[in-house]
Amino acid sequence: MASIDHLPGRFVGPSRRETSCRAPFRRASPMPGVGGRTSRAFSQAGAVREVFPGETRQRVVSESDGADRGPAAGGPGIGVLTAVGVGDYSGTGGWGRLRRGGPAMEQGTRNIVVAGKSGAGKQPRIDVLTATYGLRQLSTGNIFREYLGAFRKVREALDAAKFQRGDGFAPDEEIRAALAPACARAGVAPDAAVLGLKAARYVDSGRFVPDDITNALFGSAFRAAGGRGLVLDGYPRTPEQSEFLLELVRETGSRLDLVLLVDNEDEAIVARTVGRRICPGKDCGKVFHLEYKPPRDGKYCTACGSEVILRSDDTEEKIRTRLAEFRAKALPAIRRLVEAGVPQVVVPGNLPVFSDEAVRESVLGAVRPVLGG
């Protein structure tokens, strides 16, 4: 498990029973709303022009894939989560797509960040948290899809290029005024369409969405979801995003209770991912694995009968690129949260026996000393 050796905190590997670990709190710039503690605030860092490649769309069954990328990244977008009507940010019924757990939220639990390499096995751990603590999954991939969808409902009514100003955009007020008539006809909130327009400029050309735009979309969705009882999936992925998140929870009077890092060896992730196949069916998106969960006759979806495919960004070369990017950007993002005082626990993504109960015991054995329940 060398990939996390340099992170603060202690890791107990899969050969022994994992235990939770409270990281040593090195408060470089502590602030209210972190881990339930209160201290001074800090100023937000400036945005950068790159986002962790391959890591911002939702893979519904397993883990996150890159929705902040455009079509050039390859692969179909895979379905969205169960609608629970959390709050309609756009008039489209859009922002309600959050996965809610079963029981009522544990008293005092606010928000949990789940992090890990692409293919580490985050989604089964998220499922345990949502079911046990009654939390809702807030996926960056779904956020992008919802805001892009809001803009695409009205994009035919204007020339989006006329709002570009070099690397930036015209003032929001100007864009909002131009979009207002089409938004009124489509039942879309102008603010949502403005954010979607900005993201679409990068996504539609296959470029990575800058941190400032990613932060704006996430912040809007976080506030719309109430800023409470959330499992944050796919965010933060850069240190700059971590700074924004810490400031956001301070401003909203919320807090971050825990970072759950799902760790897995690179070689295990490569083997697991290159064997993955997905159903391209528009209303399906079922995920298979040639060894662990094979499709029918090795090639057909068991749900709809479509021929399954290998995602274009699930090649070994692209997987290893994502793993390197995780170490370069996402790990420092996690470290920033830990340094600000957010407790961290680490669980293995690869268990000796993989079952729902084994995953549940692994996760709860790690988080209960911190969260209770």
Total residue length of the chain: 373
Give the count of alpha carbons within 13 A of 319, CB side only.
20
Report residue 199's pLDDT band, with 50, 70 and 90 as the boundaries. Answer: very high
Find the mean pLDDT for residues 3-17: 40
State the pLDDT at residue 159.
80
Q: What is the strand order of the sheet 230-233 is part of?
A: 99-100, 136-139, 230-233, 111-116, 258-263, 344-348
Find the mean pLDDT for residues 242-247: 98
Q: Do residues 54 and 325 make contact, with C-beta atoms less than 8 angstroms apart?
A: yes
Q: What's the whole-model pTM score?
A: 0.68
State the pLDDT at residue 372.
80
Find the mean pLDDT for residues 199-207: 85
State the pLDDT at residue 7.
52
Average pLDDT over the chain reads 75
State the pLDDT at residue 292.
80
The CA distance from 6 to 22, in Å, is 15
| Percent of the chain residues topping a pLDDT of 70 | 71
Burial 44-67 (b: 16+ CB within 10 A, else e): ebebeeebbbbbbbbbbbbbbbbb
Give the count of alpha carbons within 13 A of 282, CB side only.
0
* Angle, CA of 297, 316 and 201, to the nearest 5°: 100
Q: How many CB atoms lie within 10 A of CB 14?
A: 18
Query: Is 150 a residue whose pLDDT tops 50?
Result: yes
Report residue 157's pLDDT band, with 50, 70 and 90 as the boundaries. Answer: confident
State the pLDDT at residue 299.
93
State the pLDDT at residue 353.
84
Least confident among 10-19, 155-164, 256-265, 302-311? 10-19
Q: Specify burial of residue 13 (Cβ count, 10 A radius: 0-12, 13-18, 19+).
A: exposed
State the pLDDT at residue 127.
93
The CA distance from 116 to 118, in Å, is 6
Tokens coding 167: 């690397």
Q: Do residues 201 and 170 make contact, with C-beta atoms less than 8 angstroms apart?
A: no
State the pLDDT at residue 16.
33
Residues 283-306 pLDDT 10s: 888 889 898 889 999 999 999 999
Pairing of strands 164-165, 168-169: antiparallel
State the pLDDT at residue 131.
94
Give the count of alpha carbons within 13 A of 118, CB side only.
29
Query: Is 186 a residue whose pLDDT tops 60?
Result: yes
40 vs 64 pLDDT, higher one: 64
Report residue 109's pLDDT band, with 50, 70 and 90 as the boundaries. Answer: low
> Among residues 206, 227, 207, which one has the least CA distance to residue 218?
227
Q: In the block, which residue shows the tokens 């202690």?
A: 10
Does the structural domain 2-140+229-275+310-368 have CATH classification 3.40.50? Answer: yes
Q: Do residues 304 and 284 make contact, with C-beta atoms less than 8 angstroms apart?
A: yes
Residues 50-100 pLDDT 10s: 222 233 222 222 233 333 333 323 222 222 222 222 233 333 333 333 545
Any idea where the domains of the chain sit in the sequence?
2-140+229-275+310-368
Pairing of strands 276-278, 287-289: antiparallel
Q: How many CB atoms lie within 10 A of CB 173?
A: 9
Pairing of strands 230-233, 164-165: unpaired
Find the mean pLDDT for residues 265-270: 92
State the pLDDT at residue 331.
95
For residue 163, the 8-state DSSP code is G
Amino acid at 130: T
For residue 326, the 8-state DSSP code is I
Residues 6+ apart with CB under 8 A from 226: 86, 87
Query: Is 162 a residue whose pLDDT tops 80?
Result: yes
